[in-house]
Amino acid sequence: MDFQQAREPGMVDYFRDDAWRNEEVGFGRTFVLAGTKRGEPPVLGYYTLAMARIIAEDFPESMRGEFPFSRIPVACLEKVARDDRVPKEKRLGALLIGDALRRVLRVSRDIACFGVMLYAKNKGLEAYYGRYGFEVLARKPNKTNTSQLMFLSLAAVRANMPAR
């Protein structure tokens, strides 16, 4: 496995040690963008999708009136990672996030899913995901999870996703 990411070494460990195990037991699906050109790393980037639930209290009050249940079904976008050898200018993150959102839209035709959640590990990532429409939810980072919960509704995805 040749994937490098010095910024977040845990992403290398996850890809090497946990992604396949999660795949086998059905806890998550990891999608890989493979390098195909000469000189590219074999794995340009990857992300993992899983199903999850968010408690209604984490949403703004303006949205809560829509919810018939206290736990809201969502897709969880995890472990979005780009190999360090791929220049930022290639906008690989946008490609991976776009692919993930298209997959969630497809699945939502058959499985209940109100939107996509993710955890931003720092303010920089919070701003980055905010550019794609993800909004900060009420659940704040704490000692056991220092990341910020963010959410993007499928209605927003549908409205902004180019038709294919």
**Tens-digit pLDDT profile for residues 139-159:** 776 677 778 899 999 999 999
Provide the token pair at 81. 């990672």
Reported as a single tens digit per residue, the pLDDT across 124-141 is: 999 999 999 999 998 776
Q: Domain with 115 in it: what CATH number?
A: 3.40.630.30
Tokens 């037991």: give the residue.
25
Mean pLDDT (whole number) for 4-32: 90
Q: For residue 3, tell me if it sits in a domain.
A: no
Q: For residue 120, tell me if it sits in a domain.
A: yes
Residue 45, H or E segment:
strand 43-55
pLDDT at position 163, please? Answer: 62
Q: For residue 23, tell me if it sits in a domain.
A: no
Into how many domains does the chain fold?
Answer: 1
Q: Which domain holds residue 108?
A: 50-160
Q: For residue 55, tell me if it sits in a domain.
A: yes
Reported as a single tens digit per residue, the pLDDT across 80-119 is: 999 999 988 999 999 999 999 999 999 999 999 999 999 9
Which residues, at least 6 apart from 138, have a Cβ–Cβ distance to it below 8 Å?
Answer: 57, 58, 59, 60, 149
CB contact at 8 A, 120 and 131: no
